Structure 1
Amino acid sequence: MAFSVKFNDVDLSTIVDGFTAITRNIGAGWTNTVQPNPIIGADFTQNSINSKSITVNFIANVKLDRFTSVRKALASALNVKQPAALIFDDDPNQVWWAVPDGTPTLDESSFYQAVGSITFLVPSGVSESVETNILNASNSGGSLGTITNNSDGSVDIEINNTGNLEAFPTIEITNVHENGYIAIAGQNGAIEIGNRQEANGATHALSEYLYNSNSDLSFSKFKDATGTANPQNSGLGTNGTISFQSDGLRFATQGTMSGSQFAGGGMKVMTLPADSNGHVGAVNF
């Protein structure tokens, strides 16, 4: 199986016939900043990680128009305007965000085989994980970290960073109650959103299902209201019956009518269940 080098979602191994060398070195190099010490040597101020260069050497075997097709295909694959994903077969879970740097080469002096090289520049100097790890209640206490719910309503989160550099998590919070305040505190600072006292005093109604016919296709929760006056028109009788058939509710029997009624019919009634607050009868139904 050929070794794969993918750049910007293009597998370069489908263009060339093989890779002879890949130079990634160790890390990206560091730049140290010092200032002269008045007595001896210098005092360290800070350091920073440099950008990184990665060079890939490859071969292209001679075939009819082979070198021409390699030149054109590589030129197209490498033509990017901003850093793109560079992934190597032996480290598939790491991505380098890179751009081609300098002039790619293709030496065609040999009759049997052309050799070439491509240098990529990684501006950040580091690779990133392809996968995203999610810490939640189901895996708390494992290798990713721990979530602890405290008695005062606060939550402690400890995240295990298994990488080589500082990482900044994305935190997703879902309120389980009507709440106007969220605070996140860390070692280096805090962020607060909303009002601690929920001073506006407003309680917002929750939209919820009290009845859904999708889960009651036969309308079994509706009961016959025989003999109960029609609340919309007293001239309509309700002593008849309505029954569920294969495609829905159908008029079954006419029933009887009083002297003041002009049409017979049936009626079914369902009493709405209590909402999540225990209230029966929804004002905004």
Structure 2
Amino acid sequence: MAFSVKFNDVDLSTIVDGFTAITRNIGAGWTNTVQPNPIIGADFTQNSINSKSITVNFIANVKLDRFTSVRKALASALNVKQPAALIFDDDPNQVWWAVPDGTPTLDESSFYQAVGSITFLVPSGVSESVETNVLNASNSGGQLGTITNNSDGSVDIEINNTGNLETFPTIEITNVHENGYIAIAGKNGAIEIGNRQEADGVVKPESEYLYDSKYDTSFTKFKDVAAGTVNPQNNWLATNGKLEFQTDGLRLKDKGTVGSCWWYESNDFTSRFKRSCWSS
């Protein structure tokens, strides 16, 4: 079985006749930042992971028009505008997000076979897992971590990171009861969603009714607004509109009329001009 190198979902082993070497080295290299120490040496400030280069060497056997077809097929497979998945047969669970770097080579000077090389640049410098590990109630307490439900309703989650770099989990929360507030607290911060005071203790799994006419068949609870009543939020808005029960539910029958207004100058120092309105 031929060794497989896949790039951007293309198996390069179907284009060439074999891979003779792969240079991945160890890690991606590090850049260390220091500042001079006034007494001796230097003080360490920080370090960072560099980008990474991976070189693949291959062979192409002599066949009719073989070199031409290899050049065209590889050029097409390597033509990407952004990092694409690079996966090696001996480490299929790891993906390197890479782009071709420099000029791929193809030496056709040999009578028996051509040799070539492709260099890939991995901007992040690291690989990622192809598979996603999921920690849930069924595997809690295993190698992925532990979920503990506390008596006060809170949940403690301890996640085991099986990689060698820091990572950020994706958390999915499904409420099994009414809950207007969710908070997630971690080592380096917290996030809150909703209202802490939403704790009425009343379970309402379905939408609440705006109005139920079952016990008010004549709609007596709907009252006309008295003439001259000003909208408490905005006196430019009407307050004497009407609702009507139609075949598909309550609908706005009449939006009402807006009262007349005039402006006058005020001397109470609260505003330069004031407005007075009434409804008809």
Normalised by the length of structure 1, the TM-score is: 0.71
**Structure-2 residue corresponding to 1:163:** 163
Q: Which runs of 5+ in 2 are unaligned?
A: 208-280
Tell me how far apart the structure 2 counterparts of residues 47 and 205 of structure 1 sit (CA, whole Å). Answer: 52
Q: Offset at 1:112? A: 1.1
**Structure-2 residue corresponding to 1:103:** 103
Q: Offset at 1:198? A: 1.2
**Structure-1 residue corresponding to 2:126:** 126
Number of positions where the alignment pairs a residue of Structure 1 with one of Structure 2: 207
**Structure-2 residue corresponding to 1:83:** 83
Q: Offset at 1:39? A: 1.0
Q: Which whole-Å deviations, capped at 9, do the CAs of 1:223-265 have from their partners, x for residues lacking one?
A: xxxxxxxxxxxxxxxxxxxxxxxxxxxxxxxxxxxxxxxxxxx
Tell me how far apart the structure 1 counterparts of residues 146 and 194 of structure 2 sit (CA, whole Å). Answer: 26
Tell me how far apart the structure 2 counterparts of residues 130 and 53 of structure 1 sit (CA, whole Å). Answer: 20
Structure 1 pair 152–199 and aligned structure 2 pair: CA distance change class (3 A): closer
| Contact 2:59–2:114, Cα closer than 8 Å, also in 1 | yes
User: Mapping of 1:16-165 within 5 angstroms?
Assistant: 16-165=16-165
Tell me how far apart the structure 1 counterparts of residues 16 and 47 of structure 2 sit (CA, whole Å). Answer: 39
Tell me how far apart the structure 1 counterparts of residues 141 and 195 of structure 2 sit (CA, whole Å). Answer: 32
**Structure-2 residue corresponding to 1:189:** 189
Amino acid at match of 2:7: F
Q: Which whole-Å deviations, capped at 9, do the CAs of 1:210-230 have from their partners, x for residues lacking one?
A: xxxxxxxxxxxxxxxxxxxxx
Structure 1 pair 23–141 and aligned structure 2 pair: CA distance change class (3 A): same
Amino acid at match of 2:111: F
- For residue 75 of structure 2, give the secondary structure of its aligned residue in structure 1: helix
- For residue 162 of structure 2, give the secondary structure of its aligned residue in structure 1: coil
Q: Percent identity?
A: 95
Structure 1 pair 203–152 and aligned structure 2 pair: CA distance change class (3 A): closer
User: Mapping of 1:227-246 within 5 angstroms?
Assistant: none
| Contact 2:3–2:89, Cα closer than 8 Å, also in 1 | yes
Q: Offset at 1:199? A: 7.4
Q: Offset at 1:206? A: 1.6
**Structure-1 residue corresponding to 2:177:** 177
Structure 1 pair 200–177 and aligned structure 2 pair: CA distance change class (3 A): closer
| Contact 2:85–2:95, Cα closer than 8 Å, also in 1 | yes
Tell me how far apart the structure 2 counterparts of residues 154 and 179 of structure 1 sit (CA, whole Å). Answer: 12
Q: Offset at 1:204? A: 4.9
Q: Offset at 1:65? A: 0.3
Amino acid at match of 2:12: L
